[in-house]
Structure 1
Amino acid sequence: MTTTIKTISTFATSLLAGVLLSACHPAETVSSAPAVAQEKTRANASDLPHYLTRDIQDEIFYFVMPDRFYNGDESNDNGSTTEPLSAGGFDPTHKGYYHGGDLNGLQQKLPYLKELGITSIWMTPIMRNQAVQANSAGYHGYWILDFTEIDPHLGSNAELKAFIDAAHKENIKIFFDIITNHTADVIKYPACHGEDGLQWLMEQGSDCPYKTIAETEAGQGYQAIIPKGQENVKTPAWLNDPKYYHNQGDSFWEGESAVYGDFSGLDDVNTDDPFVVKGMTDIFKNVISEFKPDGFRIDTVKHVNMEFWQEFAPALVEHAKSEGIPQFFMFGEVYDPSSAFLSQFTTVGKMQSVLDFGFQSAAQQALVDQKGTNVLAELFANDKDYLDEDSSADQLVTFVGNHDMGRFAHMLQTSAHNYSESEQAQRTLLAHALMYFSRGIPVIYYGAEQGFVGEGGDQASRQDMMPSKVKSYNDNYLLATDKTTADDNFDTSHSFYKTFADFADVYIKNHALRYGKTETLYAQDSAGMFAFSRTSEQQNIVVVLNTATTEQKVELDVNAKAITSLYQSENSQQNAQLQQNKLAVTLPALSIAVYQID
């Protein structure tokens, strides 16, 4: 007997619908008509447990650069009025300078984020920065001078607390981006920067060559100096002493230089020193005590010795518990796609989780490079690498693009496959659907929900959500809209925004999508079908997606009497049939379906 599935939810936005096309590009065509919009009440952070007791596997992250989001207070645009090194750097026409976004602006946009389905906001570093170095500014937050004060371009300590309180009232968590590897570039070497240390580099455009441990111990290292007038610019005070830094010149990202070298000139902290370990631990214990964030994302983790993490990470989690934050959670940035390399930081390094660069790589291979869906099967097969007594792949933090490597849509735009704009839209949404419905904790990189594309990584991927004045941003098209970044881009009617909100609705309402164990059911060595199950004590779900450009079919062995559709890319209810414990699924090109197995 053949049983047709029953549908409990129909979503307004189709991955293949014409609504995905930008109105300013009428030449594009699609094979199906847009679905009729139907207003519905979607689940959001208020439908989850209280933020203090909520497990990390309930979260949906929004990764945002506050300076590029929304300017809620123009009076702080030029930064400090008392600290010269943290003043200025404001030029909204330049992609490498401050643009005016701040904590007040984030607070004003909390309703926009909550409606999107966001449950946690992760901000790039917000501590007081050196405002300008060379020909760029510290708008991104990674050039910290003071670990006790909020960067005045973004607001005050009191405004940060007000923002966190406002988010918590909406049951939304706040995560800080923190740095232990380095501070702002203050320490100089006469051999590279002149006797007074005031030259950026004696040979413009060059690095300060790395000196090995052996060279340094043999007396062939650098003399470290601090330029006159900058002897006490860092807080806490111990950070001003060069003896607490490696002082070995610039890293070239290989061998020992990856740990002991300066990260693009930034002062590399000597995290081998027990005094430094305690000092850094105390810094962030104080941050937890004062501001009560819900967790940390930790920058440049692989550039710090493993012994540091073994002591630092557990100490902060325990301190947070003592401060009444029982679910405090930390995940590190380890820029490497290998599960064997990534997992050592959660197993040996005692960190709770890491950003899943392996997932990003597999999604890019499958949906940008058109490799077989077996790359996804291999990703999940390697999840065993993360398993130990207190961590697993289920708590990896997944993403498809970020502020360093660039946006997923840009990877599609520059692909050798020469994708049309409509296909860029389809593939971008399919990548995010995979992120939401597979294991791990999903992260939206700000602007993705408005079709942002960008022109590359780093500064080229850090566009403004508020109306931008940067020419190189504003001459880019955005997906599924006729707007550019010169417009205000907080459009809750954008098809991407609506689709992401639908993904969040399904994610929040279905326990197995957050807690279910993953098993691959089908993969192939070419673009096409991929299927996997998510199974928890409460629910069994099967996810099927098609990465090919033509309709595909697959037959899966399932033990079921009935199946329920939780999400489908198209409104058709006839794309799956259950017969003799086999689930036959037919999917159009670049689409996904989610079923509950009853």
Structure 2
Amino acid sequence: MMIKLLSLCSLCALTLVVNVKVYAGEVSEKFTAKAVKLAPYQQRDFQDEIFYFVLPDRFYNGDKSNDLGAAANDTKRAISRGGFDKKNKGMYHGGDLAGLTEKLPYLDNMGISAIWLTPVLRNQAVQNGSSGYHGYWIVDFSEIDPHLGTNAALKNFIDKAHERNIKVFFDIITNHTADVIKYKECHSSDGLTWLLEDKNCPFKSLAQLAQGDTYTPFIPTGSENLKTPAWLNSVDVYHNQGDSNWVGESAIRGDFAGLDDIDTNSDKVVKGMIDIYTAIIDEFKPDGFRIDTVKHVNMAFWQTFSPALIAHAKTQGIDNFFMYGEVYSFEPELLSPFTVEGKLQSVLDFALQGALQQTLVEQKGTDVLAKLFAQDYLYQTSHQDIENTNANQLVNFTGNHDMGRFAYTLKESDYNYSEAEQIQRNLLAHALLYFSRGVPVIYYGDEQGFVGDGGDQASRQDMMPSQVVSYNDDDLLASNHTTADDNFDTSHLFYQSFAQYGELYQQYPALRFGKQSTVYAQSKPGIFAITRSHTFSLNEQEKEQNLLIVFNTADQVKALKVLDSGIYNDKDAKLLYLSAESQGDDKIAPLSFAIYQLP
């Protein structure tokens, strides 16, 4: 069977044709991996999931009545009102939980089985000339930000997602709150004016503090009771050592870009944070948490926090509650301690993201991938108070809301890739997310060819029609649309491809649970081949599944004869999926991949 997917380049005459072969009826023709076909969400393993990571404010506006946040007469929540400006990329744009609920079918049909929301708790709406549309400036840990809806709206969203057998994960923060606390040495008495020319409070070390060289923290008049729960309004539960410079002691104890850094070394704070998030579990029954800024919190905190929340979730009937952390480091030896020592169940795999960048953007050899995967043993753990962890539970991604999109790095590459090649490299990067070990994450908008102009605000475009000039001048990949259009196109090449990848991922257990071994890698762009082997029970019988996945990162055809070593031969291997036609069965097309079933 031959399926041709056409992509029109918006600024070129070239038409990209992707030929996909599917064999022996292994995958349905429509490639709709709806979550309803999966095991019930209450029973489903984390490794069964396909994630969609979304900023609710930038997705879809389902309720325009909440665009300004708190009501004008709501004095208690006045700090959470305003900041709405659809033309400003640093302000609220109106997306909300009602909009996400309305668009659940769009996610479901792409094969998404779990949704990861950026923080939805109540924020300080505006600080330092920008807004809290992203959710990381929390002042109230007990209720939903009014720009996004209400507690009831969040519960409704979760209920509707669960009806579709889709899980919901919250992004949570323990490292900091919104910027409320000021220092007399740095700020005017009203907290509004900087006394220092560079608008920064230099970090003071513990050694300086021991010698009496300290800051004098204060809360400006009128802000004494902004935070909930009330214990967060005491300056004594914060480190108060000035702004982090991102290295050494300051990375753990410094204010994160001015945000109030919570003293997670304190037993009172550890208990308080556990209480906050057990209450969240009790009220909303989410399926898990993504944890922000993990490496900026002391390791002992995680050793207590993680087992406590997992144990509590079980008391609420959430037996498969799962947490993964953001450790913004690119080396497995820096990532793995947070699972081995910190007792987190998993972390985002920044190391794989870096390897994808090196191989598919910078054209380094596929041995970069082999060297990375050779370190997977570092993640193997066996804790008595949490489930065993391994590299199959790592969370794979190509780009995000901080570093920017993978498509942007391709566009800016010194190799000056054509749009057609940017498309192929983007698809191959996502194939590596799905089919090498780990759990795949789609960053919202990637399925519509979003590119962006860099990281942070430049990578947080609107899915609904945007009014931001710097967003709307982008040439989206594989599309004639811009971000000024409504971008929920289910016929988009990337959307359709990710749906195909999802169906394959869900159909073959070895792609989710299989032990991974590298078969072939080379010191330049070309073949990277792995096997995924898994034994599982089916109809009370033991079944063994052995798959071979071959990726070609080169821009030229490569011969498969390098694999003729007993692992693969065309007589015994059964071709399950071929992403692009090649000139002969013993070759693999440029920037493509193939999946084989081995005896």
Q: Which of the five TM-score ranges fits, normalised by the shorter chain? A: over 0.9
Choose from 284, 303, 318 the match for 2:296: 303
Paired with 1:241 and 1:361, the residues of 2 have a C-alpha distance of 40
Q: Could you tell me how far apart the structure 2 residues matched to 1:105 and 1:39 are?
A: 30
Q: 1:270 aligns with which of 246, 263, 272?
A: 263
Q: Determine whether 1:93 maps to 2:93.
A: no
2:158 corresponds to 1:164: yes
- 2 CA distance for matches of 1:587 and 1:466? 38
Give how far 1:131 is off. 0.1
User: One-letter code of the match for 1:588?
Assistant: A
User: Matches of 1:521 and 1:11 in 2, distance apart?
Assistant: 29
1:209–1:249 contact (8 Å) kept in structure 2 = yes
Q: Secondary structure at the match of 2:576?
A: strand
List aligned pairs for 1:432-447, cutoff 5 A: 432-447=430-445
Matches within 5 A, 1:454-473: 454-473=452-471
- What is the alpha-carbon distance in structure 2 between the residues aligned to residue 205 and residue 421 of structure 1? 42
1:511/1:11 CA distance change after superposition, 3 Å: farther
Instruction: Give how far 1:84 is off.
Output: 1.1
Alignment pair present for 1:377 and 2:370: yes
- Decide whether the 8 Å contact of 1:451 with 1:481 is kept in 2: yes
Number of residue pairs the alignment of both structures matches: 573
Distance in 2 (CA, whole Å) between partners of 1:522 and 1:192 is 57
2:430 is paired with a residue of what secondary structure? helix
The aligned residue for residue 579 of structure 1 is none
Q: Deviations over 1:517-536 (max 9, x none)?
A: 10000000001111000110
Given the superposition, is the C-alpha separation of residues 41 and 195 from structure 1 closer, same or farther in structure 2, using an over 3 Å criterion?
Answer: closer
Which amino acid in 2 is paired with 1:52? Answer: Q
Deviation at 1:28, TM superposition (A): 3.2
Structure 2 counterparts to residues 144-159 of structure 1, below 5 A? 144-159=138-153
Instruction: For residue 351 of structure 1, report the CA deviation from its aligned partner.
Output: 0.5
Structure 2 counterpart of 1:26: 12
Cα distance in 2 for residues equivalent to 1:564 and 1:476: 42
Which residue of 121, 128, 142 corresponds with 2:115? Answer: 121
- Cα RMSD of the aligned pairs, angstroms, is 1.6
1:248 maps onto 2:241 in alignment: yes
Partner of 1:5: none
2:596 counterpart residue number: 595
C-alpha spacing 1:328/1:427, structure 2 compared with 1 (3 Å): same
Structure 2 match to 1:197: 191
Greater length-normalized contact order (CA 8 Å, ≥ 6 residues apart)? 1
2:560 counterpart SS class:
strand
Aligned partner of residue 520 in structure 1, secondary structure:
strand
Residue 566 of structure 1 and its aligned partner are, at CA, apart by: 2.2
Are residue 183 (structure 1) and residue 177 (structure 2) matched?
yes
Q: State the alpha-carbon separation in 2 of the partners of residues 559 and 406 from structure 1.
A: 38
Preserved contact between residue 452 and residue 479 of structure 1 (Cα < 8 Å): yes
Identify the residue that residue 453 of structure 1 maps to in structure 2: 451
- Equivalent residue number for residue 509 of structure 2: 511
Which residue, out of 103, 121, 144, partners 2:97?
Answer: 103
Return structure 1 stretches of 4+ with deviation > 6 angstroms.
33-38
Counterpart among 556, 559, 563 of residue 553 in structure 1: 559
**Deviation by residue 1:56-91 (Cα, 9 ceiling, x = unmatched):** 000000000000000000000000111111000000
The amino acid of 1:353's aligned partner reads: S
Matched with 1:77 is: 67
Matches within 5 A, 1:15-54: 19-22=6-9, 24-28=10-14, 40-54=30-44
**Aligned AA for 1:278?**
K
Q: Which residue of 2 aligns with 1:336?
A: 329
User: 1:565: Cα distance to partner?
Assistant: 2.1
Whole-angstrom CA distance in 1 between matches of 2:198 and 2:400: 26
CA distance in 2 between counterparts of 1:418 and 1:96 reads: 30
User: SS of 1:191's equivalent?
Assistant: coil
Partner of 1:348: 341
Residue 35 of structure 1 and its aligned partner are, at CA, apart by 7.0
**1:293 corresponds to:** 286
Change (3 A) 1:33 1:521: closer
Q: CA deviation at 1:564?
A: 2.3
Q: Is the 8 A contact 2:466 2:485 kept in 1?
A: yes
The 8 Å contact of residues 252 and 298 in structure 2, kept in 1 or not, is answered as yes
Q: After the TM superposition, which residues 470-549 of structure 1 pair with which residues of structure 2 at under 5 Å, given as runs?
A: 470-537=468-535, 538-549=544-555
SS class of match (1:411): helix
Q: Which residue number in structure 2 is paired with residue 581 of structure 1?
A: none
Provide the TM-score with structure 1 as the length reference. Answer: 0.93
Distance 1:118 1:302, change over 3 A: same
Q: Secondary structure at the match of 1:302?
A: helix
Displacement, 1:419?
A: 0.9
CA distance in 2, matches of 1:512, 1:10: 25
Paired residue type of 2:94: G
2:165 and 2:525 map into 1 onto residues whose CA distance is 40
Amino acid at match of 1:186: V
CA 1:41–1:550: 2 relative to 1, 3 Å: closer
CA distance in 1, matches of 2:90, 2:453: 14
CA shift in 2, pair 1:167/1:520, >3 Å? same
Unaligned runs of 5+ in 1: 1-8, 14-18, 577-584
Q: Percent of counterpart pairs with the same letter?
A: 59
Does structure 2 retain, via aligned residues, the 8 Å contact 1:128–1:146?
yes
- The 3-state SS of whatever aligns with 1:264 is helix
Supply the distance in 2 between the matched residues of 1:111 and 1:33 (Cα, whole angstroms). Answer: 26
Question: Aligned AA for 1:550?
Answer: Q
Distance 1:119 1:257, change over 3 A: same
Give how far 1:134 is off: 1.2
Q: What is the CA–CA distance in structure 2 between the aligned matches of 1:373 and 1:559, rounded to whole Å?
A: 19
Q: Which residue of 2 aligns with 1:60?
A: 50
Deviation readout 1:241-263 (Å, 9 max, x if unpaired): 00000001110000000000000
Please tell me whether the aligned partners of residues 122 and 144 of structure 2 are also in contact (alpha carbons under 8 angstroms).
Answer: yes
Q: Per-residue deviation at 1:559?
A: 5.3
Q: Distance in 2 between matches of 1:139 and 1:526?
A: 42
Q: 2: CA distance between counterparts of 1:168 and 1:570? A: 36
Unaligned runs of 5+ in 2: 23-27, 383-387, 536-543
Distance 1:241 1:305, change over 3 A: same
For residues 160-205 of structure 1, the C-alpha deviation after alignment (integer angstroms, 9 at most, x for no partner) is 0000000000000000000000000000012111133222x33465
Q: Tell me by how many angstroms 1:567 deviates.
A: 1.7
Q: Is the 8 A contact 2:20 2:579 kept in 1?
A: no
Residues in 1 aligned to 2:584 and 2:157: alpha-carbon distance in whole angstroms = 46
SS of corresponding position for 1:567 = strand
Secondary structure of residue in 1 paired with 2:217: coil
Distance 1:205 1:170, change over 3 A: farther
Quote the residue 1:565 is aligned against: 575
TM-score by length of 2: 0.93
Q: Give how far 1:569 is off.
A: 1.2
Find the counterpart in structure 2 of residue 112 from structure 1: 106
CA apart distance, 1:217:
2.1
Q: How far is 1:27 from its partner?
A: 3.2
Question: 1:10: how far off?
Answer: 5.3
